[in-house]
Structure 1
Amino acid sequence: MKNAELVFIPAPIIGHFASAVEVAKLLLERDKRLSITFLVMKSSLSTKIALSYNDSVIAACGRIRFIHLPEVELDPNLPSRFFISLIEAQKAHVKEEVSKLVMESESSPDSPRLAGFVLDMFSASIIDVANEFGVPSYIFFTSAAAFLGTTLYIQALHDEQKVDPTEFKNSDVELVMPCLASPFPAKVLPSSLLGKDLLPLFLPLIRRFREAKGIMVNTFYELESHAINSFSDGNYPPVYPVGPLLNLINGHEHDVVSDRKDTHRDIMQWLDQQPSSSVVYLCFGSMGSFGVEQVKEIACGLEQSGHRFLWSLRQPPPNGKMEAPSDYVNPAEVLPEGAEEIEKGVRCLMEIDIKKKEKLKEISEKSRKALMKDGSSSTWLDRRVYGLGFPLLHGRSMYAEQQFNAFEVVVELGLAVEIKMDYRREFLIGNEIILGAKEIERGIRGGMEPDCHKLKRLKELSEKSRKAMMEGGSSFSSLSRLIEDMIIAGDDVHVP
């Protein structure tokens, strides 16, 4: 059977991009007949780290290439429409590049044939381009299976029952949805489904999910069996749980940008010197950042808790700017007086290398002792289950579907210790509500208790997550079914 090529179109933000690369690497590892081309859109949220990530993947993995699409001009005054506007503007460029791939395939008998598009959840409108080439589209959904079910439920509620979801904002309505075993407080829905200006933008994307030939989700059956079973009634495209998608699946550490490898090594050495399950890790996603006042409250809460910690500390972009957060040039300026004098070997502050005071974005599996997380979509799974030694401390939900993720891990799955779940901070709007040091200290102490009842279940799921990716495991088998579907697709490919 002739080799097959997939075209990946990730969203132009590092978290979604990195997740898409991980699923691509897994597909290539599993079947030698596949090759993959990424069409990469440049944005203010796709940083130089993404470019370095590209290079490292190309060097380590054959049968994969990255084609960077031309930049397009967008209205800077419409940040809430950024993803949708950018992707719509790139449709012509996507069509042009895919046409080249198809012609290349037709001109050489050794070239793989186009078998389909793999689209990020934000890129669903590119289904139009795939249809022009006569190939199927697959959605890669970077968040939880339960949230996928929620978006489809809200879309059907709006379209079929004529219910306006924006009326749920600040209400006490609880929704009973097939994808959740627990009643869900509607006010915890993301702003994209509660805002009158945003809902008309996102509903069309959700409708397109139903047109896909399949939907991949970065989860595994044993974690979200209730949500995954809810898709089996024939009203949805096939849903393939293919996670956990991590560089750690085969025991390897995360890819680390070359100029940070020394920092990574030094932090690993520091962690190896700490008692087992004794380090709190704070990381708030690729877009997570805090102002000075909140940074000081977190620092005080950590110090008062008495626990060792690592902290990925980043400063917000200028108000209204569609940019990724940046590192603080001098973190001492935003910390309480004397914070950097904390005794060496007791705490490692802000992921700072003790000698060089450099920072690291990612740390390997063995550092995951306990976490205080934002609930971001692209990391919703790996930092909640895989290799954790203590329950998640669910901190603040700052944007996107993070409040929903907080509900799922705290209430639905019972894996997290809540610090404050009913918090909402609109993306790119500086209406920050300060979470106090006492609340943070309370959450950390509760999550780090040795006899915390969530520990046993978390360890069990950690082991099940490993088995899911092994031969015969639930995600292994799910991915096998997906690959066979992809391989036989694309017999009627044509250049429009």
Structure 2
Amino acid sequence: MFCTSMIDVANEFNISSYVFFTSGAGFLGFTLHIQTLTDDENQDIVQLSYMDTETPVPTFVKPVPTKVFPSPVQSRETLDLVLSTARRLREVKAIMVNSFLELETHAIDSLSSDNTIPPVYPVGPVLNLEGGTSGRIKKPPEDDVIRWLDDQPPSSVVLLCFGSMGSFEAVQVKEIARALEQSGYRFVWSLRQAPNETTKVPRYYEDLRTVLPEGFLERTDGIGKVIGWASQVELLAHPALGGFVSHCGWNSLLESLWFGVPVVAWPMYSEQQINAFEMVLELGLAVEIKLDYKNDLYNRMVETVIVTANEIESGIRRVMEDGSVRRKVKIIGEKSRSTIIEGGSSYASFDSLIQDLIRNVS
């Protein structure tokens, strides 16, 4: 979806353009709605994003709090990129979205009923269930962690993993550690060092004791594992996993649903706040730690607050103890697997997409 400039190349050769939108239908609708508010209603989106209010967005049933507006719309420079992308999306023949009808029914229906938007085909979930990440070295699985999980009861372990760019400063790391100790739950924690001016990306700690509270590793020995890189898919697939503290990247959310593991939402950057809002408040498929948290890669002017150990512990307890959320996630997980096989909604949507392609190239 960040390659919309290729539409110009396609136009030059008189080729139809199709876009694969890697986030959800709700966020697709949000992106297009922001562009409508700007171009048709002359609204100042940056100013709106800093107001303490709510605004209706067609792809959501509930009004969207402006506090969960993604950070790219909070600065003029990055907002221009969002708006440019939205305008180009309206030019294509169709948009494929990495979602499925049973998950985002209202959002997909809303997009499909808007004649100013190209046809939208939900073809998800599109997932890499083999682990590893495209474009990066595939690291070996954490065999000792898997062996440790093998010895744990079903649905008893909480995973903390924050994506390829997720990291925290030392003061926040200590709050997370205290929360884990206070909760008493078993855990696997993928912990990496915050980037600096030189590295720009998260790094691995050479010695975890330099950042964790004194004695933490000794006190939690046998209860939890603190690791660097994590094969998130492999861990989520393990029956011992009972909860997932996540940054709410769309792929991570789809993976958690696929494996039936409920999420504790702790969004950080990009569209993750919107994703968290949708999962927690719109769909009731997750619990929250802090929906409006921002650990911003794009706008360093956005203040990063410290989330307390008590707030984190509360989220962990709710995800591990709330049976209603777990049941809903299990049901959606089953639907996510059935939707991509013959007879499923995404299977049928993909077939319709193929027919669309044939019509436009013949």
The TM-score normalised by the length of structure 1 is 0.67
The corresponding residue for 2:237 is: 366
Q: Which residue of 1 aligns with 2:182?
A: 304
Alignment partner, residue 436 of structure 1? 308
Percent identity between the aligned chains?
47
1:193 to 73, 76, 83: 73
Which of 92, 103, 120 lines up with 1:239 in the alignment? 120
Question: Structure 2 vs 1, CA of residues 361 and 317 (structure 1 numbering), >3 Å: closer, same or farther?
Answer: farther
Which residue identity lines up with residue 225 of structure 1 in the other structure?
T
SS in 1 for 2:117: coil
AA at the equivalent of 1:439: E
> What is the match of residue 126 of structure 1?
6
Residue 393 (structure 1) aligned with residue 264 (structure 2): yes
Number of aligned positions between the proteins: 354
Q: Is the 8 A contact 1:370 1:388 kept in 2?
A: no
User: Do residues 473 (structure 1) and 351 (structure 2) align?
Assistant: no
8 Å CA contact retained: 1:143, 1:380 = no
Which residue, 459, 470, 478 being the options, matches 2:330? Answer: 459
SS at match of 1:310: strand
1:95 aligned partner: none
Larger radius of gyration: 1
Distance 1:259 1:147, change over 3 A: closer
The structure 1 segments of at least 4 consecutive aligned residues displaced by more than 4 Å after TM superposition are 255-259, 487-491
How far apart, CA to CA, are the structure 2 residues paired with 1:489 and 1:228? 23
Which residue of the partner structure matches residue 325 of structure 1?
Answer: 202
**Equivalent residue number for residue 409 of structure 1:** 279
Asked if 1:282 is matched to 2:160, the reply is yes
CA apart distance, 1:303: 1.3
Are 2:181 and 2:220, in contact at CA under 8 Å, matched by a contact in 1?
no
CA distance in 2, matches of 1:490, 1:315: 49
Going from structure 1 to structure 2, the CA distance change for 1:259 and 1:129 (only over 3 Å counts) comes to closer
SS of residue matched to 1:327: coil
In 1, the alpha carbon distance for the partners of 2:349 and 2:217 equals: 48
Identify unmatched segments of 5+ residues in structure 2. none
Q: Decide whether aligned partners of structure 1 residues 267 and 186 sit closer, same or farther in structure 2, where only a CA change above 3 A counts.
A: same
For the residues of structure 1 that align with 2:214 and 2:178, how far apart are their CA atoms? 10
Deviation at 1:409? 0.8
CA distance in 1 between counterparts of 2:3 and 2:247 reads 24
One-letter amino acid of the counterpart of residue 273, structure 1 = D
- State the partner residue of 2:290: 420
Q: Distance in 1 between matches of 2:40 and 2:163?
A: 35
Whole-Å Cα distance in 2 between the matches of residues 483 and 393 of structure 1?
37
Give the counterpart letter for 1:372 in structure 2.
V
Query: Who is 1:295 aligned against?
Result: 173
CA contact (8 A) 1:264 1:363 kept: no
- CA distance in 1 between counterparts of 2:171 and 2:18 reads 43
The separation in 1 between residues aligned to 2:308 and 2:89, in whole angstroms, is 40
Structure 2: how far apart are the matches of 1:175 and 1:322?
A: 38
Select which of 11, 15, 21 maps to 1:141. Answer: 21
Residues 355-396 of structure 1, C-alpha deviation per residue, up to 9 Å, x if partnerless? xxxx4343414234211111224434223x11124x31112x
Cα offset, 1:155, TM superposition: 0.5
Amino acid at match of 1:461: I
Q: State the 1:146 CA deviation.
A: 0.4
- C-alpha RMSD over aligned residues: 2.2
Which of 315, 319, 326 lines up with 1:447 in the alignment? 319
Per the alignment, residue 211 of structure 2 pairs with 334
Show CA shifts across 1:240-298 (max 9, x none). Answer: 111112234xxxx424888743x433322221211110110111121111111111111
Counterpart check, 1:218 vs 2:103: no
Question: What's the secondary structure of 1:124's corresponding residue?
Answer: coil
Distance 1:268 1:139, change over 3 A: same
- 2: CA distance between counterparts of 1:175 and 1:258? 42
Contact 1:189 1:404 in 2 (8 A): yes
For the structure 1 residues 259 and 413, does the alpha-carbon distance in structure 2 shift closer, same or farther, using more than 3 Å as the test? closer
Counterpart residue identity of residue 307, structure 1: Y
Q: Is the 8 A contact 1:388 1:459 kept in 2?
A: yes
Amino acid in structure 1 at the alignment position of 2:7: I
Letter in 2 for 1:288: G
The change in CA–CA distance for 1:380 and 1:259 in structure 2 (over 3 A counts) is closer
Alpha-carbon distance in 1 for matches of 2:200, 2:67: 27
Structure 1 unaligned residues grouped into runs of 5+ = 1-120, 352-358, 492-496
2:25–2:107 CA contact under 8 A, matched in 1: yes
Asked if the contact 1:317/1:325 (under 8 Å) is kept, the reply is yes
Match runs of 1:250-269 below 5 Å: 253-255=130-132, 260-261=139-140, 263-269=141-147
Q: CA deviation at 1:343?
A: 5.0
Post-superposition Cα deviations, 1:30-55, rounded to whole Å, max 9, x if no partner, equal xxxxxxxxxxxxxxxxxxxxxxxxxx
CA contact (8 A) 1:168 1:187 kept: no
Amino acid at match of 2:127: L
Q: More deviation in 374-383 or 327-336?
A: 374-383
How far the C-alpha of 1:226 sits from its partner, in A, is 0.2
Distance 2:132 2:166 in 1: 21
Amino acid at match of 2:249: S
Measure, in 2, the Cα distance between the counterparts of 1:331 and 1:143: 34
In the TM superposition, what whole-angstrom CA distance separates every residue of 1:323-363 from its partner, at most 9, and x where no partner exists?
33222222221111112224544212236xxxxxxx43434
Amino acid at match of 1:245: V
Measure how far apart 1:238 and its partner are.
Answer: 1.3
- In the alignment, residue 168 of structure 2 is paired with which amino acid? F
Counterpart-to-counterpart distance in 1, 2:17 and 2:153: 48
What secondary structure is seen at the aligned counterpart in 2 of 1:179? coil
Alignment check: 8 A CA contact 2:191 2:227 kept: yes
